[in-house]
Amino acid sequence: MRPRVLVIGSINMDLIVRCKEIPRRGETVRGEAFRTAAGGKGANQAVACARLGAETTMVGRVGADEFGANLRNGLASEGINVDPVAVDREVATGVALILLEQEGSNRIVIIGGANAQVGAEEVGRARALMAACDVVLMQLETPLPVVREVAVAAREHGVLSVLDAGAATPEAARMGLPGLVDVLSPNEPEAEALTDLAIHGLGDASVAAQALREIGAREVVLKLGRAGAWWAGPEGEAHFPAFPVTPVDTTAAGDAFTGCLAVSLAAGLPMADALRRSNAAGALACLKLGAQPSMPRGEEVDRFIRSLRT
């Protein structure tokens, strides 16, 4: 039986500008290329889950505009159930402006649009679908009260919950979100926002992960970019090194990682195996331009892992 993942989160159109360097305040620089690509942390992770073999359902909201129609159709083309994706006629689809430098690093500005209107309707839809899923996957690009209600509902239904702390703020910690989910997965800036602790190496990652556990997180998977991931849970903690690649675009590498983590746990893999597989998915996502276009398929992850053993 295929693992079943329910994703509730953001759906954006990414506006990607490639440039030699990011402009400083008041400076104008010439861009090298521009393109649009489907994005949004929720939608990215839904695509990752579907391509990795999960039966995937997306709960979210888009505007009644061209971006919204294209994004909804794109998700459906990946085999994702988009029936619970609402079309809002009052606001525009969310967008993200991504400035991408030559070495693959990026800076992102998000305009929430329809994502900011996700509310009680989406919570109700998520509740109704939980009995038919193995994992509920959430992020923080939709209103925090909605994320909190979905996390509480997942606990009531006895469904494993994974929270990617994308767009984390101190408010998420004050609302007690870390204590409401089974697996909390921030990156370094997000962990710093939740704990007010700076992370400059593995030692700091360990301290931050334990701090997140102290405020309620059962298991913490801290994404460290090129350094891999740090896990902390009831049985201890461990470092899982990244697989070295030469990145083309790091946008959504964390989404590939978290999507793979959700699918792996839904399939019943032990955490150590799930994290090694997630590191592979994140590495592969760095090799292609764009968010959803870079999400790897299950056979690509398998092939990549096999190549490392030869």
Q: Which residues are catalytic?
A: 255
Asked whether the beta carbons of 165 and 33 are under 8 A apart, the reply is no
Judge contact between 161 and 154, C-beta under 8 A.
yes
Q: Based on C-alpha coordinates, what's the Rg of the chain? A: 18
- Please name the residue ranges forming H helices in the chain: 41-51, 66-77, 120-129, 144-157, 170-174, 188-195, 202-214, 253-266, 271-285, 298-309
- C-alpha 47/C-alpha 72 separation (Å) is 12
The DSSP output letter for 121 is H
Answer for the pair 208, 192: CB distance below 8 angstroms, yes or no.
yes
- Residue 9 and residue 30: Cα distance in Å, rounded? 34
Bridge pairing between strands 160-164 and 135-138: parallel
44 close to 292: Cβ distance less than 8 angstroms: yes
Say what angle helices 298-309 and 271-285 make with each other, to 10 degrees.
Answer: 100
Whether the CB-CB separation of 297 and 285 falls below 8 Å is answered with no
C-alpha of 75 from chain center: 15
Q: Is 296 helix (H, G, I), strand (E, B) or coil?
A: coil
CA atoms within a 13 Å half-sphere pointing along the CA-CB vector of 262: 40
Find where tokens 């092939």 sit.
303
Residues 6+ apart with CB under 8 A from 278: 221, 229, 256, 257, 258, 260, 261, 264
